[in-house]
Amino acid sequence: MDLFLQQLFNGVMLGSTYALVALGLTLVYGILQIPNFAHGHMYMLGAYVCLFLMGVLGLGYWPALIVVALIMAVAGVILERLAYSPLRNQSPMASFISALGALFVLENSVIAIWGPQGQRIGNPYPDIVEVFGITMSVQRLLVIGIAFLLIVLVQLFIKKTTLGSTIEAVAQNPEGAKLVGINIKLVSSLTFAISTGLAALAACLVAPIFILSPSMGSLLGMKAFVIVILGGLGSVPGAIVGGLILGLIEALGGGYLSAAYKDVFGFGALVLILAIKPTGLFGKEVQGR
């Protein structure tokens, strides 16, 4: 039972960071109808920027977190302007390929600057709490808490503020949004900024727990896609639920079946679900995409 609870806790922690990353991905898909394959790599870059700020500039954990979010939000806008914006009226395949180019640039720049070996960020909260026989490090609890706080904040921003609701308006009906005077270019930049900022924050949150490596982005990016597809492309609640489900599948599969194959379970689940329902769990029928 203790083992089960422990795995459950780890699953929720993993899942909450997955949910953060997937949330950004699904927002971008909803607005621009493009699969941002470089999303996982922006997550990776966020972790490395955090490493730089804390290691070289000597910033504390919390200031670094805020600066990383700001820097990466700008980086997201730059990515959108350079790689996606020129392809707005092309086929989705074109932006997909452009994304592959972008992720290649990101991964190899990081390898060139920091080297391919793993890096560590010192854990700011190494203390351990025991509740009901489950060992929880404070940092892990922090990850869950902040991730959920951010998810709620983003939801409030989209639902309650005028600026935020333009995001939803464009996602629902781009022509109609244009008609009522919404600047679509601005909205897509805003969405990219939020999406990349969230991914970077997720990366900084787990950075003290895991080892950073330039290849961490592609695996996480793939998982984010798995989640977003499970939840249906463009669906915000789908991304959050999907993130938690994938985290749990991985933690329980890794704990009970085989740790080496834990990534296979998530991908396998996706392949199975898509084989049975080609549009995802909560997805609508999409033609020609």
Partner 1 sequence: MIKFLKEKWFYIVILLIALAVPFIIPNRYFFQVIITCCLFSIGALSLNLILGYTGQASLAHGAFFGIGAYGVAIMMQTLGWSFWIALPLSALMTAFIGFLVGFLALRTRGAYFAIVTMCLGEIVGLVISNWVELTGGANGINGIAPPGAISLPFIGQISFEGQTPKYYLILVFLIFTLFFMHRLVNSLKGLTFMACRNNELLAEAVGINTFKTKLLSFVVSIFFVSMAGGLYAILMGSISPSVASLGITFNFLLYVLLGGAATLVGPVLGSFALPVLQENLQFLQEYQMVLFGVLLVVVIIYAPRGLMGVITALRSRFNRKKVGT
Residues of this chain that interact with partner 1 (CB under 8 A) are: 35, 82-83, 86-87, 90, 92-94, 96-98, 100-106, 108-109, 111-112, 218-219, 222, 225-226, 229, 233, 260-261, 263-264, 267-268, 270-271, 274-275, 278-280, 286-289
CB 270, min distance to partner 1, A: 6
Q: What six digits make up the tokens of 117?
A: 């070996």
Residue 266 neighbours by CB under 8 Å, 6+ apart: 223, 226, 246, 249, 250, 253
Whose Cβ is closer to partner 1: residue 9's or residue 84's? 84
5 vs 82 by CB, closer to partner 1: 82
Q: How far is the CB of 104 from partner 1 (least distance, A)?
A: 3
Alpha helix segments (H runs only) across the chain: 2-32, 39-55, 61-79, 92-114, 138-160, 162-172, 174-179, 184-206, 216-231, 236-256, 262-276
Distance between CA 211 and CA 195 in Å, rounded?
23
Which residue lies nearer to partner 1 by CB, 146 or 229?
229
Q: Please, are residues 136 and 2 in contact by the beta-carbon 8 Å criterion?
A: no
Least Å distance, CB 205 to partner 1, is 24
Check: CB of residue 140 under 8 Å from CB of residue 209. yes
Cβ closer to partner 1: 108 or 172?
108
* CB 233, min distance to partner 1, A: 8
CB of 279 to partner 1, least distance (A): 8
By beta-carbon proximity to partner 1, the closer residue of 3 and 219 is 219
Residue type, 150: L
